[in-house]
Structure 1
Amino acid sequence: MTLVTDRFIQPTPLSFEDFIAQYGDDDRYELIDGELFDLEPTGPHVRVASPQGMEVAAGIGQWLNCEIVQQEFNYFIPHRCLIKPLASGTGFRPDMIVLDRDALSGEPLWSSQPVVTLGSTIKFVAEVVSSNWQNDYARKFEDYALLGIPEYWIADYQGLGGEFFIGRPKQPTLTVCILSEEGRYERQILRGDQPIVSAVFPNLNLTAEAVLRTGR
């Protein structure tokens, strides 16, 4: 989920521990480099946004959950989760995340709070683009790759991203990022009835339009 404002909410840097204590259960806030941001979800993030009664992130979660069950993957989609890169004052709150149950035993914080710190625990993450698209296309694109998250989707159902990322004219776009052996994301820019080729869910039968139309 993207940030709606660039302004500081707190005048001084906030530690991750203080962030968890004050805002850990509040899906409205995210911490980036010690700065607290109000996500202020609006529109399809918080209301029924399609004829099927699903928002974009929930729709992605529903399709992937079906794959998890059908393929008998030992994965799950948590109701709430923060991503905290180790030794950083950051707590990303992704719109949708898939975790590997087998890897949770190695997570130092999971037994006491829904926080993951290791990319090996995360199989998939998705962000739904809103006003501050830069974080999804740039900051999180880099940080999620550094963590080694195998697959990252950027669902830009309004076509808000910069022309460098989605081209011109701007239009609804699904960016599917697959981690290469070199640890870099290779991007697929998808629209309309173009099929999604997923590395984590290879049997997924889904088009970009099916994902993006849930927000329109």
Structure 2
Amino acid sequence: MTQALTKQVTFDEFIAWYPENPQRRYELHDGVIVEMAPPTGDHEEVVGFLATKLTLEYSRLNLPYFIPKTTFIKPIEGKSAYSPDVLLLNRPNLINEPLWKKESTISDAASVPLVVEVVSQCVARVPRVEATDEPVRVSSNWRDDYHKKLADYEEMGIPEYWIVDYAALGGRAFIGSPKQPTISVYQLVEGEYQVAQFRGSNRITSPTLSELNITAQQIFDAASNF
């Protein structure tokens, strides 16, 4: 369910428009402001579990990384801006990010060792936007994660991208048939993503954090503790 779109906006217009205290989360997709589906409790538990485990690991290894609360990734073509569920930033490279200080935005792949998107249900409704006449649509969610963001992160050269599909919402072309909870880890090899998939008791293999010791099932269980 989407509103009719009559106008596209630039990245600068999107940043200028973005509400100071938004009641919703928004991204920019090819010049269109997109309202992200409100997160469920399960979604937030998975995000929290991953953020904790990743933080413990890079801290143990004394790596110069941190996970920001809210940061936009601006792809090469400049008409989109994504706010990932979990984002590892390489602090020393932020000096090369002209939009970091004022707009909390990065565009250099060297700033992003790892990005994670957690797939969740899309709420089908007409969005209500605070104080704006800009066109807005609701995110199609899993399609954005598996199609658009995958292509843009690859083009940017981000070395590692996880899609955590704990509810098996993605298309069968991506997670197989019958569909089952799957974590897809995309690694950049010679400019193209190659994917390894993890389910059940499979230990996640991360090129960035090679000693990370968590299984796919541990991540899935974060969404079903009670």
TM-score, normalization by structure 1:
0.88
Cα shift at 1:187: 0.7
Cα shift at 1:16: 1.0
Gap regions ≥5 residues in structure 2? 123-140
Q: Is the 8 A contact 1:126 1:152 kept in 2?
A: yes
TM-score, normalization by structure 2:
0.84
**Are 1:107 and 2:72 matched, yes or no?**
no
Distance 2:39 2:56 in 1: 27
Counterpart position of 2:154: 145
Structure 2 counterparts to residues 8-19 of structure 1, below 5 A: 8=3, 11-19=6-14
Instruction: Give 2:80's match in structure 1, choosing from 90, 99, 103.
Output: 90
- For the structure 1 residues 186 and 150, does the alpha-carbon distance in structure 2 shift closer, same or farther, using more than 3 Å as the test? same
Gap regions ≥5 residues in structure 1? none
Counterpart position of 1:72: 62
Instruction: Give 2:184's match in structure 1, choosing from 163, 175, 197.
Output: 175
Aligned length: 203
Structure 2 letter corresponding to 1:169: P
Structure 2 counterparts to residues 23-102 of structure 1, below 5 A: 23=18, 26=22, 28-43=25-40, 47=41, 49=42, 55-102=45-92
Distance 1:56 1:22 in 2: 30
Distance 1:133 1:206 in 2: 23
Greater mean deviation of Cα atoms: 205-214 or 72-81 = 205-214
Distance 2:76 2:147 in 1: 20
Greater mean deviation of Cα atoms: 199-208 or 127-136 = 127-136
Cα shift at 1:11: 2.6
Distance 2:223 2:195 in 1: 22
Bigger Rg, which one: 2
Distance 1:149 1:121 in 2: 9
Structure 2 letter corresponding to 1:178: Q
Structure 2 letter corresponding to 1:80: T
Cα shift at 1:98: 0.3
